[in-house]
Structure 1
Amino acid sequence: MSEPNTQTNTAGTSSSFVTFSLAEETYAIDVLQVQEVLKITEIAPVPGVPDYILGIINLRGDVVTVIDARRRMGLPPRAPDDASRIVIIDIDNQNVGILVDAVAEVVQIDADSVDPAPAVGNDQSSRFILGVTSTEEGLTILISLEKLLSDDEWELVRSVG
């Protein structure tokens, strides 16, 4: 799969990202891949799938697979609450939902402010990181949706949804 078109490797450019929280940390994904943000809705479980696949939802007649971002990234599970959201993203012309703790805002991030992914944390979560940027509120971790849905997992998601 190709990397998102964020232009983070070109000096002097900036891109828009949607920020969200997971386990008290701030993460960001390329706004061009976000289709919409939904409040929690009923998720129908699908038997025999990995624990990070919560199930499927009906989105205006389309079946969309929903992934728990916490479980996928090796973070401790948490029950959804009023702030939880399902971020509908587009990967290879297919919609996928990602459950996050809360969605914050759309921000501009300058390519010059992005540092390479640190070699810390567990391998499960660090392999999804594109880079890190520092803001007045703290660190924001840029996530690669393509890495989050590596080829094996992506084929499984396609077969579910």
Structure 2
Amino acid sequence: MSELAPIKENGKALSESNKGELLQYLTFKLIDETYGINVMQIKEVLRYSEIAPVPGAPSYVLGIVNLRGNVVTVVDTRVRFSLPECTISDDTRIIIIEHDGEQVGLLVDAVQEVFYLYQGEIEQSPSVGNDEALKFIQGVYQKEEELVILLELNRMFERNEALGIEAMS
């Protein structure tokens, strides 16, 4: 009886039993950094469209869009992470996620790819960078020559963080 070949990711043999659950992430760019969101949290990815501003919204809230009859709040992910504001280009996308039954859009510079990794391959994030962005980081993953910063969206929209978003939905 022949043995099954081990699953390989980035040239490394992996054993599902010691690496945990197999996860799927979507990567996107903010400036020169690559970030990842678990695809289970994503509803869809949209091309950039006009966003209606909402007076009195927090600085990181760009406004709202109409998505098939539903009002969706759009967050400028760069501003949320204390980075310079985004310049809109043909690559700019809005990632629609669902949090606590509400849809929220995340404005990103560009969407890249979907990839797989095991839970056990997620490394603890180093404590560098600004505190605002660090509190949203689940961990990091070394993907070939690129470091992917994996986001924990639940922290991004905790009750005290999302007060401005809830009021607009």
The structural deviation recorded for 1:97 is 0.3
**Is 1:15 aligned with 2:23?**
yes
1:23 is aligned with what amino acid? I
Partners of 1:26 and 1:36 lie apart in 2 by 19
Instruction: Indicate conservation of the 8 Å contact 2:22/2:116, yes or no.
Output: yes
The aligned counterpart of 1:121 is 129
The structural deviation recorded for 1:77 is 1.3
Q: After superposition, where does 1:136-155 map in structure 2 within 5 Å? A: 136-155=144-163
The aligned counterpart of 1:159 is 167
Q: Map Cα deviations across residues 57-113 of structure 1 (whole Å, 9 max, x no partner).
A: 000000000000000011111211100000000101110000000011111012222
The structural deviation recorded for 1:39 is 0.4
Of the candidates 108, 112, 137, which is equivalent to residue 104 of structure 1? 112
Of the candidates 106, 129, 141, which is equivalent to residue 133 of structure 1? 141
- CA RMSD in angstroms comes to 1.2
1:12 is aligned with what amino acid? G
Partners of 1:152 and 1:74 lie apart in 2 by 17
Instruction: Indicate conservation of the 8 Å contact 2:121/2:141, yes or no.
Output: yes
The structural deviation recorded for 1:21 is 0.6
The aligned counterpart of 1:37 is 45
**TM-score (norm: length of structure 2):** 0.86
Q: Map Cα deviations across residues 31-68 of structure 1 (whole Å, 9 max, x no partner).
A: 01100000000100001111110000000000000000
Between the two proteins, what is the percent identity of the paired residues? 45
Partners of 2:145 and 2:127 lie apart in 1 by 22
Partners of 2:155 and 2:161 lie apart in 1 by 10
Q: After superposition, where does 1:33-112 map in structure 2 within 5 Å? A: 33-112=41-120
When Rg is computed on C-alpha atoms for both structures, the one with the higher figure is: 2
Task: State the SS of the aligned residue for 1:147.
Answer: helix
Runs of 4+ in 1 over 4 A off after TM superposition: none
**Unaligned ranges ≥5, structure 1:** 1-9
The structural deviation recorded for 1:17 is 0.8
Partners of 2:156 and 2:47 lie apart in 1 by 22
1:114 is aligned with what amino acid? I
Partners of 2:160 and 2:62 lie apart in 1 by 17
